[in-house]
Amino acid sequence: MQIQTIGIPTAMYYFEYGEIWRRFFSALGLRVLLSEKTNAEILDAGTKKASSDLCLPVKAMFGHVDYLLQGDAQPDALFLPKIYKTSVGCYTCPKTIGLTDMLKVTYAKLPTVIEPCFYGDMKNFLISTGRGLGYSRMLSYRAYRIATGKKEVPMYDTHAEGLTVALVGHSYVLGDAYLNMQIKARLHAMRIRCLTSDDMRLPTHANLAAVTGYKQPFWHSADRNLTFVKNVTDHRAADGFIFLNSFGCGTDSLSVGFCRDYIRQHSDIPAITISLDEHSAEAGFVTRLEAFADCLESAACRYSESMVI
């Protein structure tokens, strides 16, 4: 069957690579259907379909696939790549690697599934994807060039006035306003600026272990977050840290501890950890943010274990 319309769930690694994927398929002349932003209905559908021991972002992914399958405009195919690695030595978590297979088992009547394997090389990944769809190497390469047109990376002003909080977490948690309970908007309303790893030019990850004294992190998220935390801590680029992690996330259970340990050893910057799941209550979440904001405004505020919630 000739594929003319391709559906892409706006969840998980869509927040990291989705815009490149969308531009690539559009450059090939395909119509791209995206699921809506995460909302209560999408998350509820995903929670009902997914296994109870899966983390919140993965449950949301099930809901986004369900949305594409139930929509009026049915895609000819679903783009569900298997994200194994993001760079040399940096793997994603087992749930991410097995997500495509879990979806195929859960949904018996899926349209054609496009499931290329990603190992960190976007050029070969996209060209091989285009070739698998029947396009020539030349057309696939042209689409790759269009999709990956270089954009200027913003440099964050570390000398700007006012309070700044560094948000640390997976890209698919920080990028999904519904899953993170609109934390960026809430902090903005408190006149607190947010700093994420996307706002800084980070050094080569492979050199991090020797600098920090840690063994090189095995997971992509741990490697990226520790790099970000080290840079913010060393340059005093934020007044506080907020770690957003999903309940049941195996990688966060280790990486957050490494990050907090580095902060504690090299600074007095306060930090809190907030765990999210489908049962998270808005009132409790707001109370924690307000309490942390009060702490940051206090001249006597110093990092301590008692501030981790």
Does position 165 have pLDDT exceeding 80, yes or no? Answer: yes
Does position 264 have pLDDT exceeding 90, yes or no? Answer: no
Side by side, the strands of the sheet bearing 112-114 are 31-34, 5-8, 77-79, 112-114
Residues 294, 228 share a domain: yes
Q: For the domain that residue 42 is a member of, what is the CATH number?
A: 3.40.50
Question: How far apart, in whole angstroms, are the C-alpha atoms of residue 4 and residue 32?
Answer: 9
Residues 75, 123 share a domain: yes
pLDDT at 205: 47
Residues 169, 113 share a domain: no
Does position 206 have pLDDT exceeding 60, yes or no? Answer: no
Check: CB of residue 42 under 8 Å from CB of residue 68.
no
Residue 158 lies in a domain: no
User: Which of 147, 179, 206 is the endpoint of a domain?
Assistant: 147
Task: Specify the number of domains making up the chain.
Answer: 2
Q: For the domain that residue 196 is a member of, what is the CATH number?
A: 3.40.50.11900
Does position 92 have pLDDT exceeding 70, yes or no? Answer: yes
User: Which of 122, 147, 172 is the endpoint of a domain?
Assistant: 147
Q: Give this prediction's pTM.
A: 0.84
Residue 155 lies in a domain: no
Mean residue pLDDT of the chain comes to 83
Residue 152 lies in a domain: no
Residue 220 lies in a domain: yes
Which structural domain, as residue segments, surrounds residue 209? 164-307
Calculate the CA 130 to chain-centre distance: 25
Question: How far apart, in whole angstroms, are the C-alpha atoms of residue 170 and residue 78?
Answer: 23
Which CB contacts under 8 angstroms, 24+ apart, belong to 253-260?
Answer: 254/222, 255/217, 255/219, 255/221, 255/222, 255/225, 255/226, 256/168, 256/225, 258/214, 258/217, 258/222, 258/226, 259/168, 259/225, 259/226, 259/229, 260/308
pLDDT at 286: 87
Residue 240 lies in a domain: yes
Residues 174, 301 share a domain: yes
Helix then strand then coil, in percent of the chain rounded to 5, is 45, 15, 40
Residue 104 lies in a domain: yes
DSSP 127: H
Question: How far apart, in whole angstroms, are the C-alpha atoms of residue 58 and residue 103?
Answer: 10
Segment 107-119 shows an average pLDDT of 90
pLDDT at 221: 74
Residues 29, 94 share a domain: yes
Residues 197, 79 share a domain: no
pLDDT at 215: 62
